[in-house]
């Protein structure tokens, strides 16, 4: 580096799944990385404890695995060791508990159930082990002045702190503050759409096998679905032999279930075989005690503001979870972004005018490539809600699966 060049600093807002993977990619390419995360360090015992019973699992597919592999580290191997492969979906068809296995892929490709928190911790561990990464926890982005390269945060003790970065990345999720700050400086098309469906998580504990050892209550190598046309229950396996179930249904249906009796008759009517497996008491306490989440699609275009900032992951394209691709697509953003930066020979340096040469062109290229793919996958995710809760039960669909021998 000549005396007229300086090492470039990239600021990443959001140390979730996508932000922490991106920190690793940038650090590996020689950038100085500052990662700012709103929450406290999730790896501290006190925060681990408060997450107990709340961890949700995610389906990790080849799209996401490829991005993990791209680090050249052992991330893929490590996380797959702690995952459960789901080779097919198991459709719980009728009231009597009839099940039908439908393979995901004729060539045997499959998806993997992983623990979200474990994956995030692994990525944070790897990022923080790199000498050129600094992580700031309990830092909430409150303002950004992209033209002057500054970002302002509120810390947990109420202090305002301002940092200077040469390039700012918003990986701060569906309600991204980075994105709203970018929208003040540029003409970004933006669309946000809620669906009328909410979700609630329920836990299905392990059962004992004939030798008294813990085992899964259902076939573990499947993503289980109870499709009921306008609503559905799904269950994904965890390595500890439990399943995390998610009930998706219109908010009005959640509202209509006000008493334990109403809940039990709703479950007997629609998911009778699951009651024994979840347990009546656990079902009642999870249903009435766990939060109800809402589901939003976010589309934005373009994803960058000149050479100053870019949004990735849910900040750029939140999608409904029915295609199991939100995180996978965010991981792929990271892989594609770095392929494009590499293609444009972007160096982690600023010149004497404080400019990262070629970065604006590279980011424009990224937006051109990525926006249409992100929009397409948001639409596919929405379509897959129809497929999962309804189409998999249709006569035509079942007949096709029978012909395929699935
Ligand atoms: P997030 O995970 O939202 O992380 C954003 C981070 O930014 C957080 O750590 C947050 O604390 C931080 N932050 C927010 N605001 C600020 C601020 N102002 N300042 C600093 N930091 C900030 N995807 C899949 O691929 N497979 C699945 O099976 C799957 N299942 C899902 C099931 C459900 C029920 C839901 C709701 C989603 C599912 N998803 C799935 C989607 C997946 O959860 C998201 O796509 C993924 O979490 C996006 O990661 P992210 O890092 O972009 O955003």
pTM, two decimals, is 0.94
In contact, 299 and 374? CB cutoff 8 Å: yes
pLDDT digit string, tens, across residues 134-168: 999 999 999 999 999 999 999 999 999 999 999 99
ipTM: 0.99
Confidence check: pLDDT of 26 > 80? yes
Burial of 106 (0-12, 13-18, 19+ CB in 10 A): exposed
Phi (first) and psi of residue 75, to 5 degrees: -60, -45
- Percentage of the chain surpassing pLDDT 90? 85
Alpha-carbon span 237 to 89, nearest angstrom? 12
Residue whose CA lies nearest to ligand 1 atom number 52:
313
> Could you tell me the pLDDT band of residue 3, with boundaries at 50, 70 and 90?
low
Per-residue pLDDT, averaged over 112-124, amounts to 95
> Could you tell me the pLDDT band of residue 1, with boundaries at 50, 70 and 90?
low
Q: What pLDDT, on a 0 to 100 scale, did the predictor assign at position 328? A: 98
Give the distance (Å) from ligand 1 centre to CA of residue 67.
16
Residue 142 CA: which ligand 1 atom is closest? Answer: 18
pLDDT digit string, tens, across residues 46-56: 776 665 544 58
Residue 174 CA: which ligand 1 atom is closest? Answer: 3
In contact, 369 and 304? CB cutoff 8 Å: no
Alpha helices in 52-88 (DSSP H): 62-69, 75-81
Residue whose CA lies nearest to ligand 1 atom number 9:
16
Per-residue pLDDT, averaged over 199-213, amounts to 95
Whether cis (ω within 30° of 0) applies to the bond prior to 302 is: yes
Q: What pLDDT, on a 0 to 100 scale, did the predictor assign at position 405? A: 46
Pocket of ligand 1 (CB under 6 A): 13-19, 36-39, 58-59, 139-141, 171-173, 177, 199, 246, 293, 313-314, 321, 324-328, 330
In contact, 61 and 380? CB cutoff 8 Å: no
Most informative mutation of 13, 38, 165, 199 for ligand 1 (most atoms within 8 A of CB): 38
Confidence check: pLDDT of 298 > 80? yes
Which segments within 121-173 are labelled E, that is strand? 133-136, 139-145, 150-155, 160-164, 167-170
Alpha-carbon span 313 to 337, nearest angstrom? 11
């Amino acid at each position: 580096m000549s005396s007229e060049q300086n090492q470039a600093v990239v600021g990443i807002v959001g140390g979730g799944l996508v932000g922490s993977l991106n920190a690793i990619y940038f650090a590996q390419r020689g950038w100085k990385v500052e990662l700012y995360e709103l929450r406290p360090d999730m790896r501290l015992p006190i925060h681990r404890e408060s997450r107990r019973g709340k961890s949700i699992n995610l389906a990790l597919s080849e799209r996401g695995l490829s991005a993990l592999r791209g680090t050249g580290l052992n991330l893929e191997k490590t996380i797959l060791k702690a995952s459960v492969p789901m080779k097919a979906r198991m459709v719980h068809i009728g009231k009597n508990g009839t099940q039908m296995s439908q393979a995901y892929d004729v060539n045997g490709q499959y998806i993997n159930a992983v623990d979200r928190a474990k994956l995030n911790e692994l990525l944070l561990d790897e990022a923080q082990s790199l000498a050129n990464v600094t992580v700031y926890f309990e830092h909430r982005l409150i303002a950004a002045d992209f033209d002057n390269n500054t970002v302002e945060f509120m810390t947990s003790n109420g202090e305002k702190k301002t940092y200077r970065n040469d390039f700012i990345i918003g990986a701060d999720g569906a309600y991204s503050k980075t994105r709203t700050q970018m929208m003040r400086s540029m003409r970004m098309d933006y669309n946000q759409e809620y669906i009328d469906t909410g979700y609630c998580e329920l836990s299905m504990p392990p059962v004992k096998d004939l030798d008294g050892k813990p085992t899964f209550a259902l076939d573990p190598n499947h993503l289980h679905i109870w499709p009921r046309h306008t609503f559905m229950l799904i269950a994904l396996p965890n390595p500890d032999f439990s399943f995390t179930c998610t009930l998706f249904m219109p908010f009005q249906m959640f509202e209509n279930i006000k008493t334990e009796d109403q809940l039990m008759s709703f479950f007997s009517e629609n998911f009778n075989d699951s009651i024994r497996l979840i347990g009546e008491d656990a079902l009642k306490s999870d249903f009435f005690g766990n939060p109800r989440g809402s589901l939003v699609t976010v589309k934005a275009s373009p994803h960058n503001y000149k050479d100053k900032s870019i949004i990735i992951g849910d900040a750029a394209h939140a999608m409904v979870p029915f295609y199991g691709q939100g995180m996978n697509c965010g991981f792929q953003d990271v892989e594609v972004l770095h392929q494009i930066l590499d293609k444009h020979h972007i160096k982690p340096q600023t010149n004497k005018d404080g400019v990262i040469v070629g970065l604006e062109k590279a980011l424009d290229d990224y937006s051109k490539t990525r926006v249409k793919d992100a929009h397409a996958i948001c639409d596919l995710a929405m379509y897959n809600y129809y497929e999962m809760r309804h189409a998999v039960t249709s006569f035509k669909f079942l007949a096709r699966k029978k012909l395929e021998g699935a």
